[in-house]
Structure 1
Amino acid sequence: MPFPLYLLALAVFAMGTSEFMLAGLLPDIASDLGVSVGTASTLTSAYAIGMIVGAPLMAALARRRPGRTSLLGFVLVFLAAHVLGAATDDFAVLFAARVVAALANAGFLAVALTLAATLVPPDRKGRALAVLLSGTTVAMVAGVPGGSLLGAQFGWRATFWAVAALCLPAAIGVLTGIRPRQEQNDVSEGRALRAELALLKGRRLILVVVLAALVNAATFAGVTFLAPVVTGTAGLGELWISVALVLFGVGSFLGVTVAGRLSDRRPGLVLAVGGPLLLIGWPASAVLADRPVALLVLVCVQGALSFAVGGTLITRILYEAAGAPTMAGSYATAALNIGAAVGPLVAATTLTTAAGELGPLWVSGLLVAVGLFVAVPSRTVVMAGRGR
């Protein structure tokens, strides 16, 4: 894989760390800025909404600019938002900074997903995407736990400064290392924005976007509420929450790496094997949650299956949206973040039911079941190699 892909993955790592790090920092932020924890939690919602809205909006605004210029601009805006967030004593300013950071993150990922396809031969999009998404999985393994530890030792602002610092080598790497075969503004001249957006009317593209959103919703429904399962049903100490999240991240990295080698030529194999196993795994996690060893093993396995299946579907979006050279990445980014926003919201409704803290795991299984129900009648679309 071309070295510039790893530079893009470094930026994705910094942004992924920022996206997920707030879970362990909210109490400190609330105390420091004089707001309730509930109010502080709106920072997470603001980021999710910014990612969903920002993906198509930022991609549309950047489509007439060279890919390297757009990526550099998004990284620098992201860096500035974290500097502002680390320095402010005003919650409203921090809220605004998180929205701006989310827009920059969404724009970067949308452009990077599209640009990555120009750095490799046409039949290697899946492997390129795997390298890019490895930044997110490494963020789960090292970035998020590291950020939580840094925040616990030196305060939540230190984590914001650390993310800003990570953006510096990423910005230098983008500036000096990105040399795409075909700059993004060149390809955009061949297709009007209206024509690229019109592809969203196509049944094939809509199908894979919906499936990717469902799988990602299942992923975040389960992992967002993993902590109470670990400390409650499994009866483990709080330290084991970080262990469980790291195991999920390790599995995610393995899943996206293995699937990246198969998703171009044999996506059907990944989906046909991974989909049913993913469906079985979430309910199994709920049933075996009172057995700590079994739960931790399943957490790792579900991480691998979730990112293998989800990553393959994201690759299918890029193939199906090949006629939208500047907007394809935004469709993939939107699918990821709609799932990340909707999954936890649906899962949260089960916490007050008889299912209790295990409810989100059952919701994850239900979401995968819905995805398989949708996919089976259209399996020739989602399982075809190398696009149509």
Structure 2
Amino acid sequence: MPLALTLLAVAVFAMSTSEFMLAGLLPDIATDLDVSVGAAGLLTSAYAVGMVLGAPLMAGIARRWPARGGLLGFVLVFSAVHVVGALTASFSVLLITRVVAALANAGFLAVALATAATLVAPNQKGRALAVLLAGTTVAIVAGVPGGAVLGTLVDWRATFWAIVMLCLPAALGVVWGIPARPGAEGHDHPTVSLRGELRQLLNPRLVLVMVVAALVNGATFATFTFLAPIVTDTAGLAELWVPAVLVLFGVGSFLGVRIAGRLSDQRPGELIAIGGPLVLVGWIALAVLAAHPIVLLVLVFTQGVLSFALGSTLIARVIYTAAGAPTMGGAYATAALNLGAVGGPVVAGASLHAGLGAPGPVWASGLLLAIALAVALPLLGVIAPRTEASRRVDRSAA
């Protein structure tokens, strides 16, 4: 894999850390800025909405920019609004910075996904995606707990300054790692019109893959968002176990992305057909057995592996299916991922008011995954058609 992909993953790590770390900082932000915790929660909602809407919007704006210029611009804007966020005493200003940061994050990820696909061979898009998503999983493993610790030891503003510092090597990585004019790998100026790329959304196959990807990732984030009460209320563990469980899930997700990176290009159908039912069984088992701490820890790890292997495979299928949208395909993949990240917690939150208690979000994950499989498995040949590479593997094995 090209070094440029690893450098892009550094920026994804910084942005994902900022996206996820805020949940643990909301009480301190509410106290400092004299708002309620509920109002402070709007910071998370604003970021999520900005990610969903920002992916196609920012990708459309940046589609004719050179990749390096667009990526660098998004990183610098992301860094600048975190400086403003760290300095402001106004909740309204902080809320605006979160929206702008989300737009920059969405734009960067959309362009990065499209650029990554041009830096590798046509049959290695899944591996390229895995490298980028590794930045997200490392953020879960190290960035989010690290931000929580820094916020506890210093204050929430220190975490914003830490994000600014992380953006510096990310910006340098874009400058050094992405060709100024990537004509050999991709297109400075797309040959397909924006209307033509948007027309790809009328392709039933692309819509199908995006919906399934959103459902699977929604199932993942439904439980991930509410892991803390499951650990403390259902399993009866001390609050100190919460970051440890989050790290365990993050380690599993990192391994899952790596596994998908090796298999999703040649064996996407098998990975979906086998991994999907395993993930569903895992959610059901976690919902039933979460009161047993050892079982909880094991299942959190395995669900991290399986969920991210399945989810990243489907996001890769979006990239493959959107081949007719060379600059907007990354935006479609980003939108599918973040629709799940937004919708999953909403469904999980509703389950908490349905009398299901702390395990309710896990049942919600199982429901979303079951719907995804009910749609995907009968249409597996459409979602993940056999590739020539997989046929060659079969012939060589025979």
* TM-score, reference length from structure 1: 0.98
Counterpart residue number, 1:182: 185
Determine if contact 1:263/1:385 at 8 Å carries over to the other structure: no
Structure 2 match to 1:265 = 266
Distance 1:175 1:4 in 2: 10
Q: Residues 257-296 of structure 1 correspond to what in structure 2 (within 5 A)?
A: 257-296=258-297
> Is the alpha carbon distance of 1:386 and 1:69 closer, same or farther for their aligned partners in structure 2, counting shifts above 3 Å?
farther
State the one-letter code of the partner of 2:211.
V
Aligned to 1:352: 353
Task: Describe the shift of the 1:30–1:263 C-alpha distance in structure 2 as closer, same or farther (beyond 3 A).
Answer: same
Q: 1:137 to 1:107 in 2, by over 3 A?
A: same
Q: Secondary structure at the match of 2:290?
A: coil
**Paired letter, 1:155:** D
Counterpart residue type for residue 102 of structure 1? A
Is 2:340 the counterpart of 1:339?
A: yes
Q: Is the 2:273–2:377 contact (alpha carbons within 8 Å) kept by the matching residues of 1?
A: no
1:269: how far off? 1.6
**Structure-2 change in CA distance of 1:191 and 1:140 (3 Å):** same
Contact 1:208–1:313 (8 Å) recurs in 2: yes
Distance in 1 separating the partners of 2:326 and 2:185: 11
Write out per-residue CA displacement over residues 233-266 of structure 1, whole angstroms, 9 at most, x where no aligned residue. Answer: 1010001110110011000000010111111111
Letter in 2 for 1:2: P
Conserved 8 A contact 1:63-1:184: no
2:62 aligned partner: 62
Cα distance in 2, alignment partners of residues 271 and 277 from structure 1 = 10
Q: What per-residue deviation string (whole Å, max 9, x for no partner) do you get for residues 209-249 of structure 1?
A: 00010011101111101111100110100011101100110
Q: 1:12 to 1:105 in 2, by over 3 A?
A: same
Against the structure 1 CA distance between its residues 292 and 320, is the aligned structure 2 distance closer, same or farther, given a 3 Å change threshold? Answer: same
* Structure 1 Cα separation of the partners of residues 352 and 124 of structure 2: 42
Structure 1 counterpart of 2:167: 167
Contact 1:231 1:238 (C-alpha < 8 Å) held by counterparts: yes
The percent of aligned pairs where both chains have the same amino acid is 65
Matched, 1:126 2:126: yes
Alignment-mate amino acid for residue 112 of structure 1: A
Q: Counterpart amino acid of 1:120?
A: V
Structure 2 CA distance for aligned equivalents of residues 22 and 385 of structure 1 = 41
Structure 1 runs not aligned, ≥5 long:
none
Q: Which residue of 2 aligns with 1:319?
A: 320
Distance in 2 (CA, whole Å) between partners of 1:204 and 1:145 is 39
Partner Cα separation in structure 1 for residue 339 and residue 163 of structure 2: 24
Task: Give me the whole-angstrom Cα distance separating, in 2, the residues matched to 1:237 and 1:288.
Answer: 18
Cα distance between partner residues in 1 of 2:186 and 2:128: 17
Instruction: Show structure 2 runs of 5+ residues with no match.
Output: 390-398
- Distance between the aligned counterparts of 1:54 and 1:356, measured in 2? 34
Report how many aligned residue pairs link the two structures. Answer: 386
Give the residue type in structure 2 aligned to 1:134. Answer: A
Secondary structure at the aligned position of 2:68 is classed as helix
- What one-letter code is carried by the residue in structure 2 that aligns with 1:9? A
In 2, distance between residues paired with 1:25 and 1:130?
Answer: 29
Q: Is contact 1:26-1:41 (8 Å) kept?
A: yes
Q: Counterpart of 1:354 in 2: which secondary structure?
A: coil
Deviation of residue 184 (structure 1)? 3.9
Q: Secondary structure at the match of 1:302?
A: helix
1:353 to partner: Cα distance:
2.5
Q: Quick check: 1:266–1:384 contact (8 Å CA) kept in 2?
A: no
Letter in 1 for 2:23: A
Contact 2:4/2:178, CA 8 A, preserved across alignment:
yes
Distance 1:68 1:376, change over 3 A: same
Q: Deviations over 1:356-384 (max 9, x none)?
A: 11110000000000000011221101222
Distance in 2 between residues matched to 1:266 and 1:289, nearest whole Å: 32
- Give 3-state SS (helix, strand or coil) of 2:359's partner: helix
In structure 2, C-alpha distance between the alignment counterparts of 1:262 and 1:204, rounded to whole Å: 21
Q: CA deviation at 1:321?
A: 0.3
**What displacement does 1:349 show?**
1.0
Equivalence for 1:14: 14
Residue number in structure 2 paired with 1:251: 252
Quote the Cα distance in structure 2 between the aligned partners of 1:163 and 1:131.
20
1:304, CA displacement in angstroms? 0.8
> What's the Cα RMSD here?
1.1
Residue of structure 1 in register with 2:394 after alignment: none
The reply on whether 1:137 has 2:140 as its aligned counterpart is no
1:183–1:121 CA distance, 2 compared to 1 (3 A):
closer
After superposition, what is the alpha-carbon deviation per residue over 1:66-111, rounded to whole angstroms, capped at 9, x for unaligned?
A: 1110000000000001000001000000000000000000000000
Q: Partners in 2 of 1:19 and 1:185 — Cα distance?
A: 30
CA distance in 1, matches of 2:386, 2:228: 38
Looking at structure 2, the residues matched to 6 and 25 of structure 1 have their Cα atoms a distance apart, in angstroms, of: 29
Residues 1:106 and 2:106 aligned together? yes
In the alignment, which residue of structure 2 is the partner of 1:202? 203
Q: Is the 8 A contact 1:13 1:139 kept in 2?
A: yes
Match of 1:86 in 2: 86
Corresponding residue of 1:97: 97
CA contact (8 A) 1:67 1:183 kept: no
Q: What is the one-letter code of the residue matched to 2:94?
A: L
Please tell me whether the aligned partners of residues 119 and 186 of structure 2 are also in contact (alpha carbons under 8 angstroms): no
Q: CA deviation at 1:273?
A: 1.1
* Aligned-residue offset at 1:350: 1.4
Instruction: List per-residue Cα deviations over 1:165-194 (Å, max 9, x = no partner).
Output: 1000000110111124335433x1x11000
Residue type of the partner of 1:166?
L
Counterpart secondary structure, 1:340:
helix
The 10-residue stretch of structure 1 (101-110 or 338-347) with the greater mean CA deviation from structure 2: 338-347
